[in-house]
Chains A and B, each alone.
Chain A
Amino acid sequence: MKITDKIVEKHGLKPEEFTNIKKLLKREPNFLELGIFSAMWNEHCSYKSSRIHLKKLPTKGKQVIQGPGENAGIIDIGDDDAIVFKIESHNHPSYIEPYQGAATGVGGILRDVFTMGARPIAILNSIHFGSPEHPKTKSLLNGVVSGIGGYGNCIGIPTIAGETKFNETYNENILVNAMAVGHAKKDKIFYSKAKGLNKSVVYVGSKTGRDGIHGASMASAEFDENSEEKKPTVQVGDPFTEKLLMEACLELMKDNSIISIQDMGAAGLTSSSVEMASKGSLGIELELDKVPCREENMTPYEMMLSESQERMLIILEDKKEKEAKKIFDKWDLDFVVIGKTTDTNNLTLKFNNKIEGEIPIEALASKAPIYDRKWIKKKPTKTKFELKNLKKIKIEDALIKILSSPNHSNKSWVTNQYDQMVMCNTVQKSGSDAAIVRIHNKDKAIAVSVDSSANYCKSFPLTGGKQIVCENWRNLISVGAKPLAITNCLNFGNPENQEIMGEFAECLEGIKESCNFLNYPVVSGNVSFYNGTNKKNIYPTPVIGGVGLIKTLSTPMSHKFKKENSTLILIGKTFGHLEQSCFLKENYSIIEGMPPEINLLNEKNNGESLLKLIDKNLILSAHDISSGGLITALSEMTFTSDFGAKIYKPKKLTNLFKYFFGEDQARYILEIKTQNLTKVEKILKESNIYYENIGFTQENYFEIEGELKINTKDLFKINNQWYNNY
């Protein structure tokens, strides 16, 4: 077949990229080879627009065993335990086919984790939908939530934390990010780097079908009005087979037969084989007629580009085939030697004993294009609103508006569809600042949280990037965990647009600053560009997934009020920052100005001191203050608790709206036994921390002196209405 310009364009390759391919090959590629280049050189697999920026992120630390570049990142949590985790996007497929798109997003990220020898112990997600009034939102929400649940529930791994948000910026391009966390033994970690010549390359798992062909290329382009036609590029998930594959792999990993292992994710057999060979500086030869196929007459092109799920590629030590096959037979899974490692440094594809394609590995990997795209800096915006000119409202009404808004409503409609308890190690579920999972058979635990602040990132990406890392850090601190490392999922619009590329570069700069200062390295992640439809780009939405360690699990820390008559302390300074706040958005539809400033020094100091107080057992409950400000955080502390609170009128900042709804950062509310107050104050003073005594807990009512008094059960009801009426 003659490769025409049209065919090149259909493969998502630019004319100059095609010229480059011809140069690298020293000839025209055939159709199969072109397909392989398109799979490896697209944005999703090559990170061509993001790579030079990603390099700036801090990725090292005493706690890091493996940083970015492998299937997932790995951190040390003491003893012989390691935590393996990563987040990944499945935005494009989920918009086209919400159930399968979301389900396979979960399946894919789980494979990344168990490929490395870890048993997955938790699933998290960050899902963003368009405005609730948009005609598609309801069915997308239903499909995505049941897809996430459908996969996790069946495979038997608890889905324990996440966020569900709505914003019209996602009307035509939703976000579905899934994160998986696994536990491994430090001396039993598996990597993808091939080693040794003439080693067997084994295909295990599901058979290959025609589903998901060109999925990665689809995910590297904007949508248009014909997006629906892309349905066949979405893969179909089979959590049952993945469960078998997981158990079989973990069983095989008990002995020493695996040299390297790689899951077949985006760009399937192509990217897995190229990755293994490239890391090992070897060649790889595949006999494609041996690939187990689900459908008849599949061509080498289809086999190499299929994204059928639940498949793995393993390079085995000599003479281990028989034993290994026995394990896969037990689990009724295919196990076929389809090739070997070679010294040619080529990807060689044979079909019926004929060479159908041959490409130097480096042309697909290290020689893939890298772009330093032009970008422009965001200018600080000035705000136009003045608080005194706005229509007068009551504090109570403003609070109710926030608590009953889609973004702040209780999410149990969502989380009740996820099995959160299976594996019997879930100490704290969704709805807390961070979820807590115990390490099996030990008395230590990890805390996990995923966070994003698209509005902040849109208004000023540098601050937004900083803020989101800090918020994630705070969430782990609030449950008494020492934050160790993060994974990030960077959801952005079209990188060929200079403003969008600027949002990316500056968000990353912000993330970098916070991570550096907080010793909170990035160990894995994923970039998703081209989120938008017909030139309308989404808000920049970096999502941060953090993991922290709770060394000894005694009483887990939560944000629920525990006792009557405890003292409530607010740590961190309140300036009353209302720009970009939830208060203005929900009550006046004003989205203006700059996000709240981040002071990393205070952030670190406040967080570490709180951790000290929790370790000394001086805190009954703790909650970080985020979107919605102090009053929203206080309300949340009354939910499902038997206690409310009475809050004094502020002594310094006299504007009540600024005081109660301001979104100043680095703040926490602490509930402490009144008799412990002096001890707590002493530690706070020694650490130079600004704090205020803001009130005390009481039965039944949430009250602000002279301003409002609401029964906490009614408040909780208000918080629960939205989803049930949607």
Chain B
Amino acid sequence: MKSSVIVFPGSNCDRDVAVALEKMQFKNQMVWHKETKLPQSDLIVVPGGFSYGDYLRSGAIAGKSLIIDEVIKAANSGCLILGICNGFQILTETGLLKGTLLRNKNLRFINKDIHIKVLNNDTKFTNKYNNEQILKINIAHNEGNYFTNSNHLEELKKEKLIAFKYCNETGDINDDSNPNGSLENIAGIFNSNKNILGMMPHPERMVDEVLSNKDGVNLFSSLLK
């Protein structure tokens, strides 16, 4: 599998995700935002960070960058796209994923380990997980409060496009287990073709027992087939 990680000025999880991909035997390349061509890739990762400083709206400028046109083209021809954290925000800015990420409900940056539940394991991104499996995973964001309109929410539910929901240790999905105020505890979604996944939690931070746990490993290994 060949992967590309897009690097914007201000990306800061680019190295982290590259390390995780290489650990999982992906052949990875870093792609600078001023490039106008993407290397041949099976997977494109839009990593976390503060692209262009995020002084406007998170992901807004990255969503209009040179390389992003190529990412959109690749996505439309079926390439797998994974947007993590700022990457998820950027994908919503491009329109590849619908909805938006608002300021966290408590108006503060949140970094902690939380739990999410796998809602659909019948996808290229999640097939190594069990359905309803609970993962312990790290979040780190200012704007992770997912919101979308009611039509799209219906579509997400009907088409099983919700990838993960925030829950507690025992899997309860409720307001107490919702760290940032996301609509219906949504932590990650697919597009209708299920070749694009955007998620706020950081799977690349969960691939090493010394640091945390290995709950993120199966996301990358699902893609390896």
CB-CB < 8 A to B53: which residues of A? 154, 238-241
The reply to whether B111 and A421 contact each other, CB–CB distance below 8 Å, is yes
**CB-CB nearest in chain A for B51:** A240
From B13, B16, B108, B204, contact of A146 by CB (8 A): B108
13 CB contacts below 8 A, A to B, read: A153-B142, A154-B53, A332-B9, A416-B110, A416-B111, A417-B109, A417-B110, A419-B111, A421-B140, A421-B212, A424-B20, A427-B210, A438-B210
For residue A273, CB closer than 8 A to chain B, the reply is no
Known interface pairs A154-B53, A422-B140, A553-B210; A243-B10 also in contact (CB < 8 Å): yes
List 5 additional A-B contacts (Cβ < 8 Å) besides A154-B12, A417-B110: A153-B142, A243-B10, A422-B13, A423-B16, A424-B15
A553 and B209 alpha carbons, distance in the complex (Å): 12
B74 contacts chain A at the CB level, 8 A cutoff: no
Tell which of B16, B20, B54, B142 touches A422, judged by Cβ atoms closer than 8 Å: B16
Question: How far, in angstroms, from A422 to B212 measured CA to CA in the complex?
Answer: 12
Which of these, B9, B16, B208, contacts A331 with CB under 8 Å?
A: B9
Chain A interface (Cβ within 8 Å of chain B)?
146, 149-150, 153-156, 238-241, 243-244, 330-332, 412, 415-427, 438, 553, 556
Closest 6 CB pairs of A and B: A156-B12, A240-B53, A424-B16, A154-B50, A419-B140, A419-B111
Given A240-B50, A417-B111, A421-B202, A427–B10 Cβ distance below 8 Å? no
> Within B77-111, which residues are at the interface with A (CB < 8 Å)?
108-111
Contacts of B9 in A (CB 8 A): 240, 243-244, 331-332
Q: Which residues of B contact A238 (CB under 8 A)?
A: 53
Bound-state Cα–Cα, A553 to B34, Å: 39
**Complex Cα–Cα for A240 and B11 (A):** 10
A-B contact count (CB 8 A): 85
Most buried by B among A154, A330, A423, A438: A154
| Docked CA distance A708–B18 (Å) | 52
Chain B residues closer than 8 Å to A420, beta-carbon distance: 111
Once the chains are docked, how many angstroms separate the CA of A608 from the CA of B140?
A: 38
Interface size classification for chain B: 20 to 34
Residues of A within 8 A of B112 (CB): 412, 416
- Tell whether, in the assembled complex, residue B109 and residue A156 are in contact, meaning their CB atoms are under 8 Å apart: no
| Across-interface contacts of A332 in B (CB, < 8 A) | 9
CB distance from A204 to the nearest CB of B (A): 15
A139 CA to B110 CA, complexed, in Å: 19
Docked Cα-Cα span, A153 to B53, in Å, equals 11
Contacts of A239 in B (CB 8 A): 50, 53
Given contacts A156-B49, A240-B52, A240-B53, contact A423 B15 (CB under 8 A): yes
A331 to B110, CA, bound (A): 29
CA distance A48 to B59 in the complex (A): 48
The answer to whether B10 and A424 have CB atoms under 8 Å apart is no
CA distance A419 to B211 in the complex (A): 14
Interface core residue of A244, A417, A420 (most chain B CB under 10 Å): A417
A149: which B residues are within 8 A, CB to CB? 109
Complex CA–CA separation, A420 to B52 (angstroms): 21
- Given A240-B9, A332-B9, do A424 and B208 touch, yes or no (CB 8 Å)? yes
With both beta carbons as reference points, the residue of chain A lying nearest to B113 in the complex is identified as: A421
**Shortest Cβ distance from B34 into A: residue:** A330
Cα A76 to Cα B20 in complex, Å, equals: 29
Known: A154-B10, A332-B9. A419 touches B52 (CB 8 A): no
> Which residue among A156, A331, A426 has the maximum number of chain B CB atoms within 10 Å of its CB?
A156
Q: Do the beta carbons of A419 and B109 come within 8 Å of each other?
A: yes
Bound-state Cα–Cα, A369 to B15, Å: 48
The answer to whether A427 touches B211 (Cβ under 8 A) is yes
Known: A154-B53, A155-B12. Contact between A425 and B211, CB under 8 A? yes
Q: Which residue of B lies closest to A247 (CB)?
A: B9
Q: Please give the residue numbers on chain B whose beta carbons come within 8 Å of chain A beta carbons, in ascending order.
A: 9-10, 12-13, 15-16, 19-20, 34, 48-50, 52-55, 108-112, 138, 140, 142, 202, 204-205, 208, 210-212
- Rounded to whole Å, the gap between the CB of A417 and the closest CB of chain B is 5
> Whole-angstrom distance from the CB of A76 to the nearest CB of chain B?
24
For the complex, give the distance between the alpha carbons of A584 and B109 in Å.
Answer: 36
Task: Give the residue name and chain of the A residue nearest to B10 (CB).
Answer: A240
- State the Cβ distance, B12 to closest chain A Cβ, in Å: 2
CB nearest to A412 among chain B residues:
B112
- A425 CB contacts on chain B under 8 angstroms: 211
CA distance A415 to B108 in the complex (A): 11
Interface residue from A146, A155, A418 paired with B111 (Cβ < 8 Å):
A418
A422 touches B210 (CB 8 A): no
Residue in B12, B34, B138, B208 whose Cβ sees the most chain A Cβ within 10 Å: B12
**A375 to B18 alpha-carbon distance, docked (Å):** 57
CB neighbours of B50 from chain A (8 A)? 153-154, 156, 239-240, 243
Query: Which residues of A sit under 8 angstroms from B138, Cβ to Cβ?
Result: 421
> Contact at B211–A146, with CB atoms within 8 Å?
no
B125: shortest Cβ distance to chain A, in Å? 20
**Contact residues in B for A426 (Cβ distance below 8 Å):** 211
By beta carbon, the residue of chain A nearest B15 is A423
Q: Which of A146, A427, A553 contacts B109 (CB 8 A)?
A: A146
The interface residues of chain B lying within 8 Å CB-to-CB of A150 are 109
> A270 to B138, alpha carbons, bound, how many Å?
44
- A419 CA / B112 CA spacing, docked (Å): 8
Are A156's CB and B13's CB within 8 A? yes
- Kindly report which residue of chain B lies nearest to residue A438, judged by CB atoms: B210
Given the known interface contacts A424-B204, A427-B211, the answer about A417 and B108 at a Cβ–Cβ threshold of 8 Å is yes
Are B109 and A153 in touch, CB under 8 angstroms?
yes
Contact A421:B205 (CB < 8 A) given known A416-B110, A426-B211, A553-B210: yes
**What's the least CB distance linking A382 to chain B, in Å?**
47
User: Which chain A residues border B34 with CB–CB below 8 Å?
Assistant: 330
Q: In the bound complex, how far is the Cα of B211 from the Cα of A382, in angstroms?
A: 49
Q: Which of chain A's residues have a CB closer than 8 A to the CB of B55?
A: 240
**Chain A residues with Cβ under 8 A from B208's Cβ?**
424
CB distance from B208 to the nearest CB of A (A): 7
CB-based contact A556/B210 at 8 Å: yes
Looking at the assembled complex, report how far the CB atom of B121 sits from the nearest CB atom of chain A, in whole angstroms.
Answer: 25
Kindly list chain B residues whose C-beta atoms are within 8 Å of the C-beta of A417. 108-111
A424 vs B20: C-alpha distance when bound (angstroms): 10
Q: In angstroms, how far is the closest chain B Cβ from the Cβ of A551?
A: 15
Report the nearest A residue to B107, measured CB to CB. Answer: A146
In the assembly, what is the distance between CA of A418 and CA of B211, in Å? 17
Check B205–A424 contact: CB distance below 8 A. Answer: yes
Measured in the bound complex, the distance between the Cα atoms of B132 and A336 in whole Å is 57
Assembly CA distance A78 to B19 (angstroms): 24
Whole-angstrom distance between the Cβ of B144 and the nearest chain A Cβ = 13
A residues in contact with B205, CB < 8 Å: 421, 424
Residue among A146, A239, A240, A553 with most chain B CB within 10 A: A240
**Which residues of A have CB within 8 Å of B13?**
156, 422
Compute how far the CA of A582 lies from the CA of B44 in the bound complex, rounded to whole angstroms: 55
Quick one: closest B residue to A158, CB to CB?
A: B111
**Please, how many angstroms separate the alpha-carbon atoms of A156 and B53 in the complex?**
11
B12, A243: Cβ atoms closer than 8 Å: yes
Closest Cβ of chain B to A219, distance in Å, is 27
Cα separation A153 to B140 with both chains bound (whole Å): 9
Residue on B nearest A428 in the bound complex, by CB: B211
Query: Inside 8 A of A421's CB, which chain B residues have their CB?
Result: 111, 138, 140, 202, 205, 211-212
A253 to chain B, nearest CB (A): 17
| Closest residue of B by beta carbon distance from A243 | B10
A239, B51: Cα distance in complex, Å: 11
Specify the chain B residue showing the minimal Cβ separation from A159. B111
CB-nearest residue of chain A to B11:
A156
| A102 CA / B130 CA spacing, docked (Å) | 45
Return B199 CB to nearest CB of chain A, in Å. 15
Query: Which single residue of chain A is at the shortest CB-CB distance from B7?
Result: A247
Complexed CA–CA distance, A231 and B210 (Å): 45
- Complex Cα distance, B210 from A427, in Å, reads 6
| A422 partner residues in chain B, CB cutoff 8 A | 12-13, 16, 48, 140
Assembled-state Cα–Cα distance A642/B60 (Å): 44
